[in-house]
Chain A
């Protein structure tokens, strides 16, 4: 998991690939939870950036588990954060969508969106979105 300051004060969380390492899954999800909570409690927006293919399970099964797990977590944080005004979202893109992902993350700095899965590019069109 890498954390960085994105545009504005958005905390950007990108899970690193876990590949086939089962022991890396719990730390990846728990680390993201802790980092997201800390930022949200400090009033910062959070963007979890994921590979759109992982949401559909097109790569490693464990990376897919982490990616979709983070979507579930973000949705719950969106529900719980309605009152305090937390802003926490997922941005997903496929290959070649890097610029659009960055643009979307930058947009989130000034947005009231929360709990949403924002998919850029066409990787998920015609597919079952999680």
Chain B
């Protein structure tokens, strides 16, 4: 067990979650990587980390993380998320609910279940999104990602000074999810980002690592937009 305590990252089989895990390992944390996708086991093996294959929308999935987490949790990164995009007029209630359940409720369930396990000075980092401010075709995703912001604001106040709770709000990030988009669609979206490029997993993982670190020890209840300026551009 390391002096830096355990860091738990959900959605860790993906490009962003994996990179976040690496950054937290560099900071000295013991890693527990969680994903519904069994590919998380390979990611964890490569990183010398523990892996949990779990569905966090189910109570037994949360129990599996609790079993692996130990009682010295220093960092929780709620990174797991899905999209089910459609214009509101075409969006099924099932697709709306599914995104809320995975992106918001599952994250809240795990965060709350870990309450007795956090060490003094622990940090929760929620993966919000620039889309939390509104995004065409994403009524469900916007609601889930803005919901995480409110949840974090409340917990930040309730759990202070023992545990800090913050959020990171990226725009497009270069992961298999965005690589699967039609190139012309992606190019149009990137054109709206003042930084002139898509975000890299590193761009976001560095912010997560910062918010999880003692350097951000006086920051709680906040959202940091790591979106290349997209949140202020036309």
Contacts and interface: CB of A to CB of B under 8 A. Distances in A.
B142 A68 contact: no
B108 A61 contact: yes
A58 B157 contact: yes
Interface string B98-127: 001100110011001000000000000000
A69 B157 contact: no
Interface size class of A (residues with CB under 8 A): 35 or more
A107 interface: no
A37 B92 CA distance: 11
Interface in A45-67: 54-67
**Chain A interface, >50% SS class:** helix
B195 interface: no
Given A65-B104, A72-B132, A57 B157 contact: yes
Interface stretch (B2-10, B43-51, B68-76, B146-154): B146-154
Contacts of A55: 150
Nearest to A37: B88
A29 interface: yes
A29 B150 contact: no
A63 B158 CA distance: 13
Counting chain A CB atoms within 10 Å of each CB, the highest count among B153, B155, B221 belongs to B153
Contact of B105 (A22, A37, A67): A22
Interface in A71-104: 71-73, 75-81
B88 A76 contact: yes
Nearest to A33: B96
B53 interface: no
Contacts of B133: 72, 75
A76 B142 contact: yes
B151 A115 contact: no
A42 interface: no
A60 B108 CA distance: 12
Given A29-B100, A69-B143, A130 B149 contact: yes
B88 A77 contact: yes
Interface of B: 87-89, 91, 93, 96-97, 100-101, 104-105, 108-109, 112, 131-140, 142-158, 221-222
25 contacts: A22-B112, A25-B105, A29-B104, A29-B147, A30-B93, A33-B88, A33-B139, A56-B153, A57-B155, A64-B154, A65-B108, A65-B147, A66-B150, A68-B149, A68-B150, A68-B153, A69-B146, A71-B146, A72-B132, A75-B134, A75-B146, A76-B138, A80-B89, A80-B137, A115-B134
Given A76-B131, A77-B88, A130-B146, 12 more contacts: A22-B108, A30-B100, A34-B93, A57-B150, A63-B154, A65-B147, A65-B150, A66-B147, A71-B146, A80-B137, A128-B221, A130-B149
